[in-house]
């Protein structure tokens, strides 16, 4: 979801008067505006089935998420990583609608209640899928799971693994699942370590000091 951001204050006409959409944070040359923070809170609340929270603490969390997203977006663009196709976002959106809402009217009502549009929701889902692709392509090739790690994981989690898969009778039956779980853990760890380094190296300027 790359976008061109211009370092200006955008004035929006509203029924109650003129609202100044201030630039809240600079990440390198990219701008995070007040409206971006509020929008992230609405989208995140919708996806998590929560009530939007516009408290200062919530805005700080949203600002942190958006800073991370800008760092990831920069890496995706510089590394020429693929963007998730729109068709995948459409499929995910349809699954959400089917699982959460009885009919289209209920779904549309929820969008209106959260103050978001379907194109905005689809764009958010497309971005999430793009990030997952980036994480998988960037870090999974570096993961190597040893037999010792698989055996240790089996010993530590045998009861839970067998409850989840009653047909599994041995380590060999569970080996593919264990390898997948360990791989996922290692990929997540490498991603978090990379993100921590990216945060430390980033040039982040807060135009709203309260968001620090």
Say yes or no: 118 and 172 in one domain: no
**Mean pLDDT along residues 89-109:** 96
CB contact at 8 A, 33 and 10: yes
Residue 131 included in any domain: yes
Say yes or no: 175 and 115 in one domain: no
Say yes or no: 90 and 172 in one domain: no
Q: Rounded to an integer, what distance in angstroms lies between the CA atom of residue 158 and that of residue 170? A: 9
Say yes or no: 63 and 154 in one domain: no
Please give the backbone phi and psi of residue 8, each rounded to the nearest 5 degrees, phi first. Answer: -145, 165
Say yes or no: 51 and 130 in one domain: yes
Residues 6+ apart with CB under 8 A from 128: none
> The domain containing residue 121 runs over which residues?
38-139
Which residue did the predictor score with more confidence, 10 or 203?
A: 203
pLDDT in tens, 55-83: 999 999 999 999 999 999 999 999 989 99
Residue 19 included in any domain: no
Say yes or no: 70 and 120 in one domain: yes
CB contact at 8 A, 24 and 38: no
> Residue 116 has what pLDDT?
97
**Mean pLDDT along residues 143-149:** 96
**Mean pLDDT along residues 171-179:** 94
Say yes or no: 135 and 154 in one domain: no
Say yes or no: 59 and 133 in one domain: yes
Say yes or no: 149 and 88 in one domain: no
Residues 6+ apart with CB under 8 A from 167: 173
Say yes or no: 81 and 109 in one domain: yes
**Mean pLDDT along residues 112-118:** 97
- How many domains does the structure of the chain reveal? 2
Residue 2 included in any domain: no
Please, what sign has the CA dihedral across residues 70, 143, 201, 38?
positive
């Amino acid at each position: 979801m790359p976008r061109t951001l211009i370092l200006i204050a955008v004035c929006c006409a509203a029924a109650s008067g003129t609202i100044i959409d201030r630039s809240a944070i600079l990440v390198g040359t990219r701008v995070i505006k007040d409206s971006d923070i509020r929008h992230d809170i609405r989208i995140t609340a919708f996806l998590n089935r929560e009530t939007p929270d516009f408290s200062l603490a919530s805005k700080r969390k949203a600002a942190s998420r958006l800073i991370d997203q800008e760092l990831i977006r920069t890496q995706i663009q510089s590394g020429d990583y693929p963007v998730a196709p729109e068709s995948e976002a459409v499929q995910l959106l349809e699954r959400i609608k089917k699982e959460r809402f009885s009919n289209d009217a209920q779904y549309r009502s929820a969008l209106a209640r959260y103050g978001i549009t379907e194109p905005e929701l689809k764009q958010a889902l497309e971005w999430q899928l793009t990030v997952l692709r980036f994480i998988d392509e960037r870090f999974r090739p570096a993961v190597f799971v040893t037999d010792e790690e698989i055996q240790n994981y089996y010993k530590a989690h045998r009861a839970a693994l067998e409850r989840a898969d009653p047909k599994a009778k041995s380590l060999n039956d569970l080996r593919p699942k264990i390898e997948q779980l360990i791989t996922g853990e290692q990929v997540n760890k490498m991603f978090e370590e990379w993100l921590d380094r990216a945060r430390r190296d980033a040039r982040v300027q807060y135009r709203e000091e309260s968001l620090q």
